Structure 1
Amino acid sequence: MRKADLRKQALRQRNSLGEQELAELNKKLLERFKTLDFSNVKSLHIFLPILRHKEPNTWPLIDWLRRQHPEIKIIVPKADFESNLMSHFHYQGQSDLALNRFGIPEPQNADTFEGTPDMVLVPLLAFDERGYRVGYGKGFYDRFLENLDTQKIGLSFFDAAAQINDVHLNDIRLDKCITPDRIIDFTLNNHGKGL
């Protein structure tokens, strides 16, 4: 399936989720997230959700990390829609955030993060059995993750599509993807294996 078709299908699927179903899926994502190995993670880059678009809710993940792993630095992005590049900041708490014109929470006064995070949670609309993802199409995360030696982990309410047919040379593969039912590890083979 082509990215444009997968994008439309994923948006339809997400928009059809009711509040209770959404809450249950987010709860399951959190439970799977808790099983990741954080022993070598000193910094974790996490996207902040556009909740009105029914994106996976990363706030419970952030709250859990701050309670269970206060030693891990949490890094959040800020998008520049002129250049389609992101800058990265130390998370200071929700009081430092404001919504941009697209409804994305962004840091206002936080210190810039320099360096490479040990783990990046990557937003997506869909992904395939090889670990390639479909985002909103702006390429923010492909540019950010290019040449970055870090764990790249997607979050998805839905399971993998068989194959994205129009993968581009610049598309970055995920190492893992967390779904409500399993964690798929794409580093084990070309098709990923559920844990």
Structure 2
Amino acid sequence: MVSKEITYEPLVDDEIFAQAQAILRHRGRGTGGEHVRQRTRNPYVFRGMIYCAACDRRMQGQYNHGDAYYRCRFPQEYALANQVPHPRNVYLREDALTDPLDTWLTSAFAPHRVEQTITAMADAQPLEHSPATGGAAQAIINECDAKLERYRAALDAGADPAVVTGWIAQTQAERARAEANLCTIAGTTPR
């Protein structure tokens, strides 16, 4: 939220700020100013989603003899120190995952099972969030509003503005987090 009135003296003037933004906008880009996303030479279907069963670390994609694999390389020193029975390298071929997954998807979305699959997917979604979660966020917002009123009263009574300003900033940040939580809860209800 931006204030319409200047509350504090700006650290830099508008012209310097605009120049800095222009420099940041063009930094790291080619001569045309457009950012070009580099395509990976070897795409991986399950990139970032496969974890090693032995050590729970994310497996890395690696091509070997023209086939996609997921690899977990666990240094022997770590395995010994953490008492994890882990081979030096664990490999999983990507097609060992994609072939059964394709077969399952083909059967799940076969014309005679589409309605049953959609119903199962809808039933798997949470129906509603617990009222305690939304209620807790609303309670925090109400508590923050009450604190802010007390802080304003303290300022009117002659309290030190520097101290009260810190309290107000902290309470406003807490209120903003609670509002974000409340919006997240409201935004994730199924349609």
Q: Relative to total residues, which structure has the larger strand share, 1 or 2?
A: 1
Q: Same fold (TM over 0.5)?
A: no
Which has the larger Rg? 2
- TM-score bracket for this pair, using the shorter chain length: under 0.3
TM-score w.r.t. the length of structure 2 is 0.17
**Larger RCO, structures 1/2 (Cα 8 Å, 6+ apart):** 1
